[in-house]
């Protein structure tokens, strides 16, 4: 696959955690002289290099990487903020005449990039704080009942236990007087038609779960406990996205001495498998027309990807 085989365009490689998508993106970047753009909400944070399996310095030496480790754990990035940064980055890569490979597991980021995201006015900090306090005071069930009166579409769409998105819907309604679903209905356009092609990496579930377990164990061996310990020492708000990264809560219990490490690791592995399952479900529902790369091994995935790209069967925008 030569560097000009398909011309400068945007490739999207999506998939669940531990599916092999990052390695595949790096191989594609090297083959077509491309640059990689992160679409993983947790790999944005510089504090979680090990626990989020972020690109290593060795990886970054092989191809340019963008939007990895650019945020502090005390800073909460929204999908809108990522989208603005990603668009700027993609424009810069296009200006250099090079292809871009957007890779990650955050489905909302891919949807925002390809379909668009509503240009919602900034919500005052006081309204955010008040809405969050109301959620904590009244509880999720009551908060949902209240939200459903004015924004039933958002309430029905948001999964149980997703405090962040429920509060977001509530604060937008409070600040603008308009439901979040109405704002999203008028979303700005996504990537131009014909500018992108996409695939989803979806290895067999048993193999995916095995990889999740093995990777968590390897992360602990590589120093994930120390990474979590440093994060805990900052006494950050537990509601921040970085503090809710998969594995942080479970390993934090081990760091504090509340849970034996083997038990904490087993719980973190279980939560990672659950997260991977949620990602698989999201991509199946939201990107049913994106072709799948279902090989389990790296070489098989590469061969499948090459066939899709050469045949033009990958989903095109």
Note the CATH number of domain 125-185.
1.10.20.140
More confident site: 51 or 312: 51
Q: Range(s) for CATH 1.10.20.140 in the chain?
A: 125-185
pLDDT confidence bin for 194, thresholds 50/70/90: confident
pLDDT confidence bin for 273, thresholds 50/70/90: very high
> In the prediction, which pLDDT does 223 show?
97
pLDDT confidence bin for 5, thresholds 50/70/90: very low
Residue 185 has pLDDT above 90, yes or no: no
Neighbours of 167 (CB within 10 A): 21
Residue 249 has pLDDT above 80, yes or no: yes
Spacing of C-alpha 29 from chain mean position? 20
> In the prediction, which pLDDT does 188 show?
60
Three-class SS of 93-156: HHHCCCCEEEEECCHHHHHHHHCCCCCCCCCCHHHHHHHHHHHHHHCHHHHHHHHHHHCHHHHH
Residue 7 has pLDDT above 50, yes or no: no
Of the listed ranges 178-182, 223-227, 312-316, the one predicted with least confidence = 312-316
What would the mean pLDDT of 198-225 be, rounded to a whole number? 97
- Separation between Cα atoms, residue 113 and residue 33, nearest integer Å: 22
**DSSP E strands, the chain:** 10-14, 35-38, 65-66, 100-104, 196-201, 292-293, 315-316
pLDDT confidence bin for 1, thresholds 50/70/90: very low
**CATH superfamily of this structure's domain 10-117+189-316:** P-loop containing nucleotide triphosphate hydrolases (3.40.50.300)
Residue 38 has pLDDT above 90, yes or no: yes
Classify 303 as helix, strand or coil. helix
What would the mean pLDDT of 186-203 be, rounded to a whole number? 85
- Separation between Cα atoms, residue 209 and residue 215, nearest integer Å: 10
Classify 11 as helix, strand or coil. strand
More confident site: 42 or 161: 42
**106-155 residue pLDDT tens:** 999 999 999 887 777 788 989 999 999 999 999 999 999 999 999 999 99
> In the prediction, which pLDDT does 6 show?
44
**72-119 residue pLDDT tens:** 999 999 888 999 999 999 999 999 999 999 999 999 999 999 988 777
Classify 170 as helix, strand or coil. helix
The whole model's pTM is what?
0.81
- Separation between Cα atoms, residue 56 and residue 62, nearest integer Å: 10
pLDDT confidence bin for 65, thresholds 50/70/90: very high
What would the mean pLDDT of 214-238 be, rounded to a whole number? 97
Among residues 113, 95, 91, which one has the least CA distance to residue 103? 113
> In the prediction, which pLDDT does 4 show?
38
Residue 246 has pLDDT above 70, yes or no: yes
Residue 308 has pLDDT above 80, yes or no: yes
């Amino acid at each position: 696959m030569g560097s000009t085989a398909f011309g400068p365009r945007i490739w999207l490689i999506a998939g669940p955690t531990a599916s092999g998508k990052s390695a595949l993106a790096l191989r594609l970047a090297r083959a077509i002289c491309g640059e990689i753009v992160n679409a993983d909400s947790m790999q944005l944070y510089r504090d979680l290099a090990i626990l989020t399996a972020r690109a290593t310095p060795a990886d970054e030496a092989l191809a340019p990487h963008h939007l990895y480790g650019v945020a502090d754990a005390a800073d909460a990035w929204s999908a809108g903020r990522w989208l603005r940064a990603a668009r700027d980055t993609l424009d810069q890569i296009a200006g250099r005449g090079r292809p871009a490979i957007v890779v990650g597991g955050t489905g909302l980021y891919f949807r925002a990039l390809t379909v668009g995201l509503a240009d919602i006015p900034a919500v005052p900090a006081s309204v955010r704080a008040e809405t969050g306090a109301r959620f904590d005071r009244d509880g999720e069930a009551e908060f949902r009942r209240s939200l459903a009166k004015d924004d039933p579409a958002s309430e029905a769409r948001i999964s149980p236990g997703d405090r962040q998105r429920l509060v977001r819907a509530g604060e937008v309604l409070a600040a603008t007087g308009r439901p979040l679903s109405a704002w999203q209905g008028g979303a700005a356009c996504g990537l131009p038609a014909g500018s992108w092609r996409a695939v989803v990496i979806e290895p067999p579930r048993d193999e995916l779960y095995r990889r999740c377990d093995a990777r968590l164990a390897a992360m602990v061996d590589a120093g994930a406990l120390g990474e979590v310990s440093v994060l805990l020492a900052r006494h950050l708000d537990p509601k921040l996205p970085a503090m809710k990264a998969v594995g942080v809560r479970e390993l934090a219990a081990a760091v504090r001495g509340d849970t034996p490490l083997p038990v904490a690791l087993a719980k973190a592995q279980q939560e990672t498998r659950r997260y991977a399952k949620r990602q698989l479900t999201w991509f199946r529902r939201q990107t049913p027309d994106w072709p799948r790369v279902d090989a389990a091994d790296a070489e098989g995935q590469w061969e499948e990807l090459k066939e899709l790209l050469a045949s033009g069967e990958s989903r095109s925008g």
